[in-house]
Every structure is written in C-alpha cells, then in structure tokens.
Chain A
Amino acid sequence: MTDTHPSDTDPRDRGGPRQPILSVRDLKKYFPLRGPLGTINAHVQAVDGVSFDVMKGETLGVVGESGCGKSTTARLLMRLIEPDAGSVVLDGDPIGHGGITLRELRRNMQMVFQDSYASLNPRHTATEEISFGLRVHGIPAAKAREQALSSLRLVGLDPTLFADRYPHEMSGGQRQRVNVARGIALNPRLLILDESVSALDKSVQAQVLNLLAELKQRLNLTYIFISHDLNVVHHVSDRVLVMYLGKVVELGPVDRIYRAAAHPYTRALFASRLSMNPALRVEAVPLSGDPPNPVRPPSGCRFRTRCAMAEAICAAAEPMLSSVADAHQAACHAVIPGSGHSQAEALAHAA
C-alpha cells in the first residue's frame, strides 16, 4: 500500500505514458420512463454519446449544471449502471468481450461519493468498511485489516483513534477521509471523485483537497474530478471537460478553458461565477432559465435554446466536438470553420 512509485516505473502500467489510462467512446445511457402499465413511454437521455480520454497521472475536471449527466457518467464508468452503448478501455484493455473483467476494472478504478454519511454503512466501523473491498478481492481477514489500518494512516487518520469508530462518531471531514481510504485501499490507478468535497465546509474541503493531491503523488493516481465548484476544479484540474444535457460541449487544458473558453455555454457558466474582485462582478444573469427537458432535447445543438449566438444552423445540425486549438475541443457551430454559422465564417476569414 505504502510503496511510492515514480510515475514512469509503475509495474501496473502497460501501455506507457502516451496511452490514455481510460478511453471512453460514445457512451450512452437512456433511462426509460415507464407508464402506469410498465410500458416505456419515453427515455431520459442522461448521457448521450460521451467520448473522452483520461491521460495517466492527470486530473480531469468534469463540470456542468445539475442534471447534465456528470454523475451518471461516473456511474457508467464504474459500471454501477449498465451503459446502453459505448466502450470503455482501461489502459488498452477493453472491459469484457475478451478484455479485462469487471472485477479487474473495479480493482483499478474506485469512486468516492459526495455524501460522506450515506456512503458509509452505519453499522460498520471504519476498518470494517475499508477492509470489505479487500476481502471481496480475496485478501484474508487479518491482512485486510492490516491494510485497512495503513490506508487510514495514509489519509491522515490515526488508527488507534479511528479504526473502530462508527460513521456517526466522526465528523464530516473524517468520514470523507474514511471514504477516500476505502477508495485507495484496493490500490487503484484511477479514482473518480464524484462531488467528493462539495458537501464539506471550506476549511475541511481544503484539507481533503490537499490530501488528495498528496495521495495522487504517493500512489501514482489519476483523478476524474466531478464538481460544480468551478474554483475548486480550476485549482485541481489539468484538463477540464464541460458537459451540457448529456453531451460533452468542451474539453481542453484548464488554463485555456478558464481563459479562452470557446463554447458559449462554458463562457456563460464561468460568467456566473462570483468574483472576488467587485469590479468584475456582473449584474445580469449570464444564463437564464433551466436546461431543456432531457426527454425531448432540442434539435441540433442542445444549447441553442439558451444561447445568444444561436442561428438557423444550430437547430438544423448537431455540432460535433471539433478541435479549436491544440488539445482544445468544442462542440459549437460558431467555432467550427465552414459550419455555416456567421461567426464561423468570420473566423475562417481571420485565419
């Protein structure tokens, strides 16, 4: 557990540093809406054709409004819910169909949930909770307990104090540390943090973030960091993925996304952030209304109903995620040269 690999000599690494640790292609999940007789009336298009890569050792921030499919994506990656379509490749190995088993996937990939209380079994002590996963993977009880204790130590909880505590005997920050300890106990390579620090108050949040940064170094981890807190995402991420209504609308290096976002939704999202500088605060609401109903999303670009730049082409065709700069992609007709959008033409002339 405690061994610290320099990132280039990790024995678990197979494809080398250039091969993404996780490659997601065209992931889809439609939840059926059933009528009173159990007939399927419609589908909620929760995740609709999401594709992205996660590079080894990076932190990929995932942002978007509530209900845009961030958590569903996380659950699909963990296979807590079955995807309707799409493929997930872990360091070159597809899941199932001749690739690695679900069990192996789960040993390599773990998840930390938002609600620190609900994600711990109220009848289990910290050690019992952490060692459960180890037992599942065939580690004998005594050794599992030992490893659980060393996981506790790794997350900064003294085992002599916390090993036998129940969730209700710990504070929110301590509970979330136990959740992190459970996540890293199986020695995974990828940790999905689904709003893991959102429910903690600011000072505790900072401690847990520092802990996560430290663990990432020590255990050679890769993070998928899901959050609606744009400041935190800015602070921790290397790259940022922006989701809107079940689709990826923009993906790029954190500095580019925060400085020069290409997609109008990303720009609106960032404009809605409160600034520490009073001079930069805006009075007008940059993004009005709610996202459209995911049961019947708008035709073409899903954002067009709330977009100031929407034109005829936006309703007619769906914009594909296209490269706008080095390693920076966006799905907006206005930035895709030759899309038929007036701004795209101007862009083409300028180039």
Chain B
Amino acid sequence: MSATVETSPVAAAPRATPKRRRTGGFWRRVARHVMRDKLALLCTVILALIALSAIFAPWIAPADPYKTSMMRRLLPPLSPGYILGTDELGRDMLSRLLYGGRVSLAMGISPVILATLIGGALGVTAGYFGRHVNMAIMRVVDVFYAFPSVLLAVAMAGVLGAGLFNSLISLTLVFIPPIARVAEAVTTQVRNQDYVEAARATGASAPRIIVQHVLANVTGPIMTYASSLVSIAIIISSGLSFLGLGAAPPIADWGLMLNTLRQAIYVAPINAVLPGVMIFAASVSFNLLSDSLRTAMDVRA
C-alpha cells in the first residue's frame, strides 16, 4: 500500500514511456555480450584462426604433410625450411598440425552436433510429455550415462572397429545421454511456465507449442552445454586416435601425432608437445567461449 505513491508516476502513464529503438533479438544481444567479453573474444579469434587454417590447409601449408624424409627427422623448430621442425618420419610439423586441425575440429564438432540433435530431441520429448514418456526415455539414457564417457567411447570404438567414422559414431553415442539430460531438465522447467499453460489454453497442439514456445527457450541452455562438450570431444577423439582406435597412421591428426611423437619426447621434446598444445588451445578456447555464452544467455542478467 505504501509503495503506491512512489510507483504511480511510471505506472500511471504506460503510453508515456520514452520512445526507443528495439534492442534487437535475443541472439543479437548474446553476440553483443560475447563481443564485450575480452577473454571470449580472444577465444573466438583463436578458434577462428584454427578453423580457417584447417579449412585452408592445402593452400597455406608450406609442405606436403605426408612427404617423409629420413634425412630430416626430428628437426627442432625454427630449422631452415621447417618453421616448427619435423616429426619422427621427417614430415613438416607445421603442415601436419594445419591438416591435423581438420580432423580434430571435425571430430570435435560433428559428434556434438549430431548428439545435440538426437539427444536434444529425446530430452525435449521426455521433458515436455513427462510421466511415462519421460520414464521410458530417461531411464534408457541413464543406463548409458552410468558408464564413464571415455570408457564408453573406447568400448564402442573397440566394438565397431578402428576408423574415423566409427569413432565419430561412438563419440555421438557418448554425448547423447548428457545432452538429453540437460534438455530434459530445461524442458521440464519451461514446460511448467505459465506461458506454456497459456499457449495450451489457446488450444494449440503439442508439436506447435514445442516448436514455438519450448524450443526458443531451451536451445540456449542446450547449445551452451553442447559447446562445452566440444573440447571434451576433441580430447576423447584425440585419445581414441592415440589408442589407435580413431585416425589410422598416415593421416595427420593431433591425437595420433601425440602418440607417434611420444617416443621422441626425450630427443625432441618441443616437437612432441606441439600437437598437445594445439589440443589444449582448441579445447580451452571452446570451454571459455561456452562459459561466456552461458552468462550471455541468462535473460535476466
């Protein structure tokens, strides 16, 4: 009652609100927030550089990444003609790192995208319909979730056999359960909001409500979570390659390079560490960027 006097001038004249431009859509606000965050901006630049160098590897690589030379094995970085030195078979490190980015980024991003689509669909369905549907979907998901992710990926890749495509499938399977869980949790939350009730009160069908009301409000959190999985995907896929279950030898892949250069760690430590540095840079950048996305997507922030 006592607040009446203070608040009335604003409330009494809803028409008199000062004129101002639309602040733009949700995604534009998120982009603006990320751009203002210096660390996130740096990560974006690093990732963009890695992505661009991977995409344009055939044009910018100074040498053929597969051309071996027994004469020039394990040259240290800054050797003439080989800026980052050579590996244990005398192949140009820089070229191999550039080409390796293609496989590592693809193996980091594509399973996460696939898992987001599948796991997101499962989780949203479970969350929206609740009860028995939720039970059926989430308990199956829980069974997969019970295994440690690396173990599950290794087991899957082991069953399916070595190869990039199989490791992509096993990584997708590994990421479906956590994404489904996050999707289910946010959907359950959104589903009980009054605006979903109001939408149901108009007589709208479930698919329509999901597409127009639920998805708009759950994609943010799901994508934020998924972006944090990219770094894990890069690490696990490198791990699979390291174990010989992912990329097969001549292919340039950061994980595989780490494996083959392992024996040379006392002879040429810098060369041996370089692929690890790349994995580290890419995964940390993805992680920090996803953190920034999370704060940017908090509507009330």
The residues in B between 11 and 65 inclusive whose CB is less than 8 angstroms from any CB of A are 11-12, 14-15, 17, 19, 22-23, 26
B201 at the binding interface (Cβ < 8 Å): yes
Closest B residue, CB atoms, query A119: B194
How far, in whole Å, are A172 and B8 apart by their CA atoms in the complex?
Answer: 12
Contact indicator A107/B203 (Cβ below 8 Å): yes
Closest B residue, CB atoms, query A136: B204
The 0/1 profile, CB within 8 Å of B marked 1, for residues 94-134 of chain A is 00000000110011001101110011111110000100110
The 0/1 profile, CB within 8 Å of A marked 1, for residues 173-216 of chain B is 00000000000000000000111011111111100100011001
Contact of A106 among B3, B195, B201 (CB under 8 A): B201
B1 at the binding interface (Cβ < 8 Å): yes
Contact of A158 among B3, B4, B15 (CB under 8 A): B15
CB distance from A156 to the nearest CB of B (A): 7
Contact indicator A156/B203 (Cβ below 8 Å): no
With contact pairs A119-B194, A136-B208, A202-B4 given, residues A157 and B14 touching in the complex (Cβ less than 8 Å): yes
Contact indicator A201/B15 (Cβ below 8 Å): no
Residues of B within 8 A of A137 (CB): 202-203
Residues of B within 8 Å of A, CB-based: how many? 34
How far, in whole Å, are A132 and B199 apart by their CA atoms in the complex?
Answer: 8
A328 at the binding interface (Cβ < 8 Å): no
How far, in whole Å, are A156 and B8 apart by their CA atoms in the complex?
Answer: 17
Contact of B203 among A75, A102, A121, A122 (CB under 8 A): A102
Contact indicator B12/A156 (Cβ below 8 Å): no
Residues of B within 8 A of A341 (CB): none
CB distance from B106 to the nearest CB of A (A): 31
A173 at the binding interface (Cβ < 8 Å): yes
CB distance from A149 to the nearest CB of B (A): 15
How far, in whole Å, are A103 and B200 apart by their CA atoms in the complex?
Answer: 10
Contact indicator A203/B4 (Cβ below 8 Å): yes
How far, in whole Å, are A132 and B203 apart by their CA atoms in the complex?
Answer: 10
B299 at the binding interface (Cβ < 8 Å): yes
**Which stretch from A163-171, A249-257, A260-268, A282-290 is at the chain B interface?**
A163-171
How far, in whole Å, are A133 and B198 apart by their CA atoms in the complex?
Answer: 9
Contact indicator B212/A122 (Cβ below 8 Å): no
How far, in whole Å, are A186 and B26 apart by their CA atoms in the complex?
Answer: 28
B79 at the binding interface (Cβ < 8 Å): no
Interface of B is mostly: helix
With contact pairs A106-B202, A136-B202, A182-B198 given, residues A168 and B19 touching in the complex (Cβ less than 8 Å): no
Closest A residue, CB atoms, query B195: A121
The residues in A between 218 and 234 inclusive whose CB is less than 8 angstroms from any CB of B are none
Contact indicator B15/A156 (Cβ below 8 Å): yes
The 0/1 profile, CB within 8 Å of B marked 1, for residues 40-53 of chain A is 00000000000000
With contact pairs A173-B11, A202-B1, A203-B12 given, residues A110 and B201 touching in the complex (Cβ less than 8 Å): yes
Contact indicator A119/B198 (Cβ below 8 Å): yes
Closest A residue, CB atoms, query B212: A132
With contact pairs A201-B7, A202-B1, A204-B7 given, residues A120 and B195 touching in the complex (Cβ less than 8 Å): yes
Contact indicator A123/B217 (Cβ below 8 Å): yes
The 0/1 profile, CB within 8 Å of A marked 1, for residues 282-301 of chain B is 00000000000000000110
CB distance from B278 to the nearest CB of A (A): 37
Contact indicator A161/B15 (Cβ below 8 Å): yes
Residues of B within 8 A of A202 (CB): 1, 3-4
B10 at the binding interface (Cβ < 8 Å): yes
A174 at the binding interface (Cβ < 8 Å): yes
CB distance from A175 to the nearest CB of B (A): 10
With contact pairs A118-B193, A122-B217 given, residues A78 and B11 touching in the complex (Cβ less than 8 Å): no
The residues in B between 221 and 235 inclusive whose CB is less than 8 angstroms from any CB of A are none
Residues of B within 8 A of A113 (CB): 194, 197-198
A207 at the binding interface (Cβ < 8 Å): yes
Closest B residue, CB atoms, query A182: B198
With contact pairs A120-B195, A201-B3 given, residues A171 and B203 touching in the complex (Cβ less than 8 Å): no
A350 at the binding interface (Cβ < 8 Å): no
CB distance from B211 to the nearest CB of A (A): 11
How far, in whole Å, are A123 and B297 apart by their CA atoms in the complex?
Answer: 11
Could you name 18 residue pairs across A and B whose Cβ atoms are closer than 8 Å? Answer: A75-B197, A78-B201, A80-B201, A106-B202, A110-B201, A113-B197, A120-B195, A121-B195, A122-B217, A122-B299, A164-B22, A171-B10, A171-B17, A174-B14, A179-B198, A202-B1, A203-B8, A203-B12
Please list the residues of chain A having a beta carbon within 8 angstroms of any beta carbon in chain B. Answer: 75, 78, 80, 102-103, 106-107, 110-111, 113-115, 118-124, 129, 132-133, 136-137, 156-158, 161, 164-166, 168-169, 171-174, 177, 179, 182, 186, 201-204, 207
The list of the 6 closest CB pairs from A to B, nearest first, reads A133-B202, A119-B194, A106-B203, A123-B216, A203-B8, A204-B11
